[in-house]
Amino acid sequence: MARYFDRKADHAAFFKALEAYLDDQINELYTTLNDTFADTVTLSLDVAIAKAHQAGAKIDDPAAEEIAATNYLFKELSSRGLWLQSPDQTEPNTIIAKLNFGNRRTYY
């Protein structure tokens, strides 16, 4: 657990950039809801990581960077109450989350 918090503290800018990307995507979903029904947000890990790099934040090991981004986005989506589609039902490096109208469990 200490390793998780150390990594999060060491790479705060990276996670802040991921949070900004997530906020943008969720805000876009809610904007769409003003005009039509929509319940799905699709996140690309590649885009999220690229946005972090554009903000000047990165983790040196690409594998660790991808794992950290995946885990962070899953945790954030779950904590915001969105239902997460199982990773084995999505394309690689893609996260699909839905507004949880059916009160389904939010994790696998």
Which of the 8 DSSP states describes residue 87? G
Which of the 8 DSSP states describes residue 63? H
**Dihedral sign from CA coordinates of 95, 66, 75, 26:** negative
Query: Is the confidence at residue 63, as pLDDT, over 60?
Result: yes
Give every strand in the sheet of 40-44, ordered side by side: 40-44, 94-98, 83-84
Instruction: Give tens-digit pLDDT for 26-56.
Output: 999 999 988 999 899 999 999 999 999 999 9
The per-residue pLDDT of the chain, averaged, comes to 89
